Amino acid sequence: MKVLVLNCGSSSVKFQVIETSLEMIEANSDVTVARGLVEKIGLSDSRLSMDTPGRKPYQEIGEILEHRAAVERVLKVLAHPEYGVLKDVKEIEAVGHRVVHGGEKFASSVQITPEVEAMIEECVVLAPLHNPHNLRGIIAARSLLSDVPQFAVFDTAFHQSMPPKAFIYGLPYDLYTHHAIRRYGFHGTSHRYVSLRAAKLLGRKLEEMRIITCHLGNGCSMAAIDRGHSVDTTMGFTPLEGLLMGTRSGDMDAAILPWVMAMEELTLSQLNAMLNKHSGLYGISGVSSDMREIEKAVGSGNHRAQLAFDIFCYRIRKYIGGYAAAMNGIDAVVFTGGIGENSDLVREASTVGLDFLGLDLDPDVNRKAPRGQEMIVSKASSRSAIIIIPTNEERVIARDVVRVLGGVMPSFSVPSNEAPR
Amino acid sequence: MMGRSIATRVSQAGLTVVVLEISTDRAAVVKKILEDDLDHEIERYSLTPSEKKAILTRIIFTKDVERACMCDLLIETINDDFTAKKTILGQVDGILEQGTPIIVNTSTLSITELAQGLTHPERVLGMHFLYPVTTTRVVEIVKGQVTGDEAFETARHFARVLGKVPIEEFESPGFVTTRVMVPMINEAAHVVLEGVATAAQVDLAMKLGYDWRLGPLEWADRAGLHKVLNWLDDLQRETGDQKFRPCPILRKLVRAGYTGARVGKGFFAYDTELNRVDRLPDDTPGLG
């Protein structure tokens, strides 16, 4: 079946049309029919671009004032007689939406009903920058494709299997019971997909493996996946915690914040921007938030870029060690995301010398790993594997739609893991 | 100053701004100051360099009135001077499309009087932005005697687009914020005049006592003492109420050219970065 996948941000809509089925999932042969992006929604020069395999990229510029108009344009272009990929929008049999935050309410992907929509609305308070736009996409698609079933796939759902000892903070317990402050974790669809692919690539059963997944992109997070269940992850209540990122600080002493606020007389919004937009690789190096630029600067002897690079990789190493202890060992470390898939330097610096954990990188294979391919980069003799798996969150969303329709969508909740109320 | 700050905020909200200046030279000066302001915001973590770039690409400078009048909304931001405002409103009134609202940015002037004699007085309303427009969360929107509902509704929507809470008001001298704030500054100045306490002590008492970001006298220095004096004069003239009679200290400081933070001296002393340099030991930032 053809599934339209929508990922709605504040001023953008990413879309893909994916042909998939339970059989195609099993054979890993789903087909991306088209992918595209609407940018600068709300302005008079909004841009819609679309890539279709084997065809010239399509682009149009015009006024698109809100999400409904954006989705309407997308449907028009998809069914355009000349540039389109569908004879009729009726070929779309389902719509899958990326929803950032499902709170504790969703431990699985679900079909959207009025009740589900109300529950996503309740999660807005947890993700005020993301969920409202996701909801706008849902409302737009429902009004434009009224007979087509809609599905929600949550970034947080996969991590709902974590035990309370991993998700409760050392704060007054009231903050959990009153405000639902806990670790949620993000990038769940990606961690889930690459762990599954890693097991397949190694010809082993996911249910028998302990895997550490490293999603290193614009945002970075790692997850400890014990026999298919996420048991810990680096991002927390928000996507700020854990690893160093392009412009986000990751872990730090929280007491720094009131101190800096008082000394620099910062407002809450300035503090928030400092942590999310002025920190990380960019904040430390002063060079760039982009790892490619950091690596270039390191090459030309920039000390602060070197420091940013070292901190980035050191944190990954620390978490590999921590998660190996959490799971009593590891069978594989997976790298994914823009940096994880493309930076051999990061993969090397993050894993070199970890042979005491059974991780033995093959530097040569690692350096020559071709882009965009699944690849084992550890030595054949390595007890645990180091693997590159290109992530594909849209594909997971399309697949989950098929799984929910086919009644085979697993739930990630572990009832024995509920925290006391 | 206010015009730059408004232009920045509007552009930040993703809208295109056309800034009308009297000459190309003046436009270049204003553009440079605007860029410096944005650099300062970056230092304060309020903006990133790429956000600055995006903001600048959406701000267009012109000296061509007809070009400026091709917009969907016109905001007048020249100084609180009745004649000057009246002149520019008369100029644009004939060029603007009929439905385009005219927003007058003023703290004390009468919207109704400013709208008088225009061909479409119903499209004129007041919007009182508070400085710095990029961070303050509120804007007063003010209905004059003849302001139409359509223009008022547009302004309310515009305020929300800018991420501000609109406070809807009827025309009255000083509206809400200026009318409440200015007598307090005046009273603080009287307390200093009477020798009850020093300016620094008055400010510290109010700041710590009521958990304010700034004391009233430093607030006045930052707004500009000449402006505060102007507001008091306007309020006294409009209302005839003696409580708005300016404290002699204010007049003295303004006459001496000590108009506040921007010139380095008012009630207090400031460096070129506008940081106050004469804070009391108990007034230093910290966890307390």
Q: Please check whether residues A408 and A312 belong to one and the same domain.
A: no
Q: Do domains B2-170 and B177-283 have the same CATH topology?
A: no
Q: Please check whether residues A135 and A269 belong to one and the same domain.
A: no
Mapped onto helix, strand or coil, the DSSP state of residue A216 is: strand
What's the pLDDT at B288? Answer: 52
Instruction: Among B46, B48, B286, select the one facing A270 at the smallest CB separation.
Output: B46
Contact B121, B151 (CB under 8 A): no
Residue A196 lies in a domain: no
Q: Please check whether residues A296 and A371 belong to one and the same domain.
A: yes
Total structural domains within chain A: 2
Instruction: Among B14, B46, B213, select the one facing A273 at the smallest CB separation.
Output: B46
Residue type, B252: K
Contacts of residue B221, defined as CB under 8 A and 6 or more positions apart, other chains included, come to B260, B261, B266, B267, B268, B270
Identify from B10, B15, B18, B45 which residue to disrupt to test chain A contact, counting A C-beta atoms within 10 A and taking the largest count: B45
Residue A167 lies in a domain: no
Contact B173, B232 (CB under 8 A): no
| pLDDT tens track for A270-328 | 999 999 999 999 999 999 999 999 999 999 999 999 999 999 999 999 999 999 999 99
**HSE-up (13 A, CA, CB side) for residue A262:** 11
Which among A218, A215, A262 has a CA at the least distance from the CA of A234?
A215
Task: Write out the H or E segment, with its range, that includes residue A190.
Answer: helix A188-202
Q: Please check whether residues A229 and A89 belong to one and the same domain.
A: no
Tell me the average pLDDT across A19-47: 90
Residue A386 lies in a domain: yes
Residue-by-residue DSSP string for A304-340: HHHHHHHHHHHHHHHHHHHHHHHTTS-SEEEEEHHHH
Q: Please check whether residues A410 and A277 belong to one and the same domain.
A: no
DSSP A150: E
Q: Reply yes or no on whether A155 is catalytic.
A: yes
* Distance from C-alpha of A184 to C-alpha of A189, rounded to nearest angstrom: 13
Q: Please check whether residues A223 and A291 belong to one and the same domain.
A: yes
Interface of B to A at Cβ within 8 Å reads: 14, 16, 44-48, 135, 213, 285-288
Contacts of residue B136, defined as CB under 8 A and 6 or more positions apart, other chains included, come to B129, B130, B164
Classify domain B177-283 at the CATH topology level.
Answer: N-(1-d-carboxylethyl)-l-norvaline Dehydrogenase; domain 2 (1.10.1040)
Looking at the DSSP assignment, which residues form a beta bridge with residue B124? B102
Tell me the average pLDDT across B152-172: 94
Residue A160 lies in a domain: no
Contact A283, A249 (CB under 8 A): yes
Q: Please check whether residues A132 and A253 belong to one and the same domain.
A: no
CB–CB contact B45 A278 (8 Å) = yes
Residue A190 lies in a domain: no
Which among A370, A307, A305 has a CA at the least distance from the CA of A344?
A370
Task: Write out the H or E segment, with its range, that includes residue A188.
Answer: helix A188-202
Instruction: Among B14, B44, B287, select the one facing A259 at the smallest CB separation.
Output: B287
Q: What's the ipTM?
A: 0.76
Residue A354 lies in a domain: yes
Q: Please check whether residues A106 and A145 belong to one and the same domain.
A: yes
Q: Please check whether residues A61 and A210 belong to one and the same domain.
A: no
Mapped onto helix, strand or coil, the DSSP state of residue A364 is: helix
> Binning pLDDT at 50, 70 and 90, where does residue A234 land?
very high
**CATH level 2 (architecture), domain B2-170:** 3-Layer(aba) Sandwich (3.40)
Residue A246 lies in a domain: yes
pLDDT(A261) > 80: yes
Q: Which range marks the domain in which residue A82 is found?
A: 2-154+404-417
Q: Please check whether residues A122 and A9 belong to one and the same domain.
A: yes
- Domain ranges (residues) in chain B: 2-170, 177-283
| pLDDT tens track for B40-62 | 889 989 888 888 988 998 999 99
Q: Please check whether residues A296 and A323 belong to one and the same domain.
A: yes
What's the pLDDT at A359? Answer: 97
What's the pLDDT at B254? Answer: 98
Contacts of residue A145, defined as CB under 8 A and 6 or more positions apart, other chains included, come to A4, A75, A89, A92, A95
CATH number, position A33:
3.30.420.40
Residue A317 lies in a domain: yes
What's the pLDDT at A214? Answer: 98
Contacts of B286 in chain A (CB under 8 A): 262-263
Q: Retrieve residue B265's tokens.
A: 């001296």
Q: Please check whether residues A385 and A409 belong to one and the same domain.
A: no
